Amino acid sequence: MPLILDAAVPDIPPPSETTAVFVPKGGDAAGALAPIATRIRELASDASVLAIVDQPSLQAAADILAEVKGAAKQLDGLKAIFVTPLETAAKLAKNQFKPLTDLLDVTEKRLKEITKAYLEAERAKEVQAAQVRQSELIGSASAPEVAGIAATVPTYVAPPPKAAGVSMAKHWTYDIEDIRVLARALADGTVPESYLQVNSGALQAAIRNGAREIPGLRIFQEGRVVAR
């Protein structure tokens, strides 16, 4: 019976002329970055040796921090000129590849699914046929021979059919049946902490939204310097 690929095929848009790479005018990025790069290195050097011991040194730190913020804004401006257009062009180009990649993924998944189903079905047929052959052999033997036949004649299972470049491979994997059991095993030290990673992003979002009591966590405020 022929194997038919009947999965839905996504539409593939034609290549777009907008994927041409845009090269900013006005020189290269290295030349534009040279002046601000020099100043950034000076700021980093000044900050590395600065110790705040009194009001003047505190003000010096604030002045350097203000320049750091200003330099960051300058870098953002240069990035908008030299980097952002290239990133936009790269994104547009990637969008031309994605439908084709998706189509290949759908095709590969479908072929693997129907190949697996066929090979497993053939394997089951061979097992059943071997069991029938053994039963017939035992049924045709005399009573004293039955025990010996059952003990000495193995159930023969022929290898599954193969196609060039395709084989059936099995591997161990898992499904989480009960996250609470896994968490208790972690608490008991039965499994390592790496088996249950914390979703830091989800926790931070919950705290920003007002969560102040989460079992197992200490939620607290941490001070930080804000430069304007």
Digit-coded pLDDT (tens) for 31-72: 889 999 999 999 999 999 999 999 999 999 999 999 999 999
217 in Cβ contact with 203 (< 8 Å): yes
Dist CA 61 CA 68 (whole Å) = 10
Dist CA 16 CA 97 (whole Å) = 11
Is this structure's pTM higher than 0.95? no
Dist CA 118 CA 124 (whole Å) = 10
Taking alpha carbons only, the member of 29, 35, 26, 15 closest to residue 84 is 29
The residue assigned the tokens 């003990």 is: 151
* Residue 101 pLDDT greater than 60, yes or no: yes
The domains of the chain are located at 174-219
